[in-house]
Amino acid sequence: MFVGLFAIISLFFVSIFGDTLSLAEPAHPQTVVETVFVEKNSNCAYGREQILSFANKLYEMGDYSRASVEYLRYGFLYPDEPCDDMAFFRAGLCKEKEKKFSQARIIYRQLENSSDDRAKNFARYRIPLTYFLEDRFDSAVAVFDTAKTSEVYGALEYLRGWILLKQRKYSDALEIFKNISDNSEKSDIEGSLKYLEHRCRQGLKIPHRSPFLAGMFSTLVPGLGRGYCGRWGDGFFSFILVGAPAGLAAAMWDEDRTFSIVMASFATFFYMGNIYGSAKGASIYNEQKQKIFWKTTWQEVPHPPTMLYSDLKCDEE
């Protein structure tokens, strides 16, 4: 009885004071939005300067994924501010560093609509550069004609030289770098141009091994083709691998014909594999030499193509 009476009294108070007994009022939807999208003149701690400062700090820390979000936040919230173009450009750079090149191009194309010619020129260079970084050389060259202006002509020609260098067209790349060097009175990348001319000449002299000759040498003497490619240890091993069963087959031919046939089969199998392996080894040798040459060039050049048009400043700086 007392339990029922207590329940009735409880329901009575809840029905009267239910609104006042709630622990918290539901948040207004606008307050949630305002915690992220603050107004330009707001005194919120997360305002214009704070967003940009936070984005710069993330960028310096190498947290490019979150930095790009903050730069884009700034760019879209404050489209008329002096650092708007810089924010979009930094967002594109972040995507480049994440190797998300298609996303970087989308952001850079945002800059093509800018009223600032500097921002447009930065975009005109970085867009073909992203294609180059993807090894999509035809796509990079295709946008040269639409992107080329007097301001970025030299930079795009420099990038064209790098494309030819990556394609191992050393004579054509040498001509490009020489033309840039000869037609510019004083260039900030003059040292890089001289270095690249030197490297192009070296590229023409990169050691090359013929897969056909490597196979022929190993046909005559097992393992000789591998030695031709500089792998004398492998060549000696191949010689033993073919010669040992072949010698046993010859030595035991009169005493155990079956054993000799088995050994001869092994020798023939290893002999054919040795020829194929030598030809393949020559191709691998050539590819490794080219890769080492490219890696060394990229690491040692003072101004890789990614360094050009890489620091768009704010108008107010």
| Residue pLDDT, tens place only, 63-118 | 999 999 999 999 889 888 888 999 999 999 999 999 999 999 999 998 988 888 89
Would you put residue 60 in left (φ > 0), alpha (ψ -120 to 50) or beta? alpha
| DSSP class of 169 | -
Nearest-angstrom CA–CA distance, 74 and 83: 9
Percentage of the chain with pLDDT > 90?
47
Per-residue pLDDT for 9 more than 60?
no
Per-residue pLDDT for 188 more than 90?
no
Contact criterion met (CB below 8 Å) for 90 and 67: yes
Per-residue pLDDT for 305 more than 90?
yes
DSSP string, 30-94: HHHHHTTS--TT---SSSHHHHHHHHHHHHHHT-HHHHHHHHHHHHHH-TTSTTHHHHHHHHHHH
Identity at 251, one-letter amino acid code: A
Confidence of residue 49 (pLDDT cuts 50, 70, 90): confident
pLDDT tens, 251-297?
888 788 888 888 888 888 888 988 998 999 999 999 999 999 999 99
Contact criterion met (CB below 8 Å) for 121 and 311: no
Contact criterion met (CB below 8 Å) for 235 and 227: yes
Token digits of residue 180: 């840039």
Contact criterion met (CB below 8 Å) for 280 and 210: no
Position 315 scores a pLDDT of 65
Closest CA to 198 of 266, 65, 297, 99: 297
Confidence of residue 28 (pLDDT cuts 50, 70, 90): very low
Nearest-angstrom CA–CA distance, 167 and 175: 14
pLDDT tens, 110-169?
898 888 889 999 999 999 999 999 999 999 988 887 766 768 888 999 999 999 999 999
* SS3 labels along 208-275: CCCHHHHHHHHHHCCCHHHHHCCCHHHHHHHHHHHHHHHHHHHHCCCCCHHHHHHHHHHHHHHHHHHH
Position 316 scores a pLDDT of 55
Nearest-angstrom CA–CA distance, 27 and 32: 8
Token pair 């903050």 is found at 70
Return the domain boundaries, the chain: 44-125, 211-300
pLDDT tens, 204-245?
999 999 999 999 988 888 889 888 888 888 888 888 888 888
Answer whether CATH 3.40.50.2300 is correct for domain 44-125.
no
Position 6 scores a pLDDT of 41
